[in-house]
Chain A
């Protein structure tokens, strides 16, 4: 659990935000599930506070931990601002593809016949495309066959690596057409990619997504 030092600027920000909302220390304490003495301590002394407690105070003050810590300190000068600029954390295409290249778990998403569908699958990257196995006749197989020659369903495919404790990581989204790998040459080539399957069973299809749109972001929370 991360600890932060309060008092000083953070304490002053907490007090300022509390005053902005027009509530007393007692009211803040009640909202945050704490004793009023602790709020006074945090606002006025140089203390160490856990992320969890700071989070509860931030929630009670309808703001974020980052704002209370004086957000923007880690951003390069001249960028961002109080509203935060998501473009700061956006990743370029090359970096996104590099991040997903090792394979692993990804989630395929598309607008199916009865609504949005999302499914985690084991994937590999092969020749710049995303390849995964799916059960023949299963929902992926059925929905992805538009039945029209040359028309393929556009899907989204998301991969992320998020450290829940440190609340940071990255997420990459690939969008593009998905098609069944049908020719024997293609199948052999894709089989060589060594895809694991968890469903067992031998009647399976390979599917390949061609990345058209590729986007991603670094996520930095507390």
Chain B
């Protein structure tokens, strides 16, 4: 019952793009202040995670098109690759604030490594509508 509150496309997005709660929190943290450039240390302190974990999380978000690093500095700023992506993040933010436990469960239900995505590539049923 609780899983029904997350729409399928958002569920797919979370499963594909969000690997951990720390990553989601970092994304939403930077989204909350889009004019600010964050250091890794500042993010780590705010999220109560180690600096190394924060570094990995921010790098990944940057590669995935959620953040950018202005002028090759070591800072990160919220900047989505496309308006559609921004809208999806907005929906995720709204859902996370309303349905904290289901979203958390969804993320924690994912396997620890990404290699499952290799096998999932062959699953036609997991294909999203945006194909």
A binds B: no
State the B residues within 8 Å of A (CB): none
State the A residues within 8 Å of B (CB): none
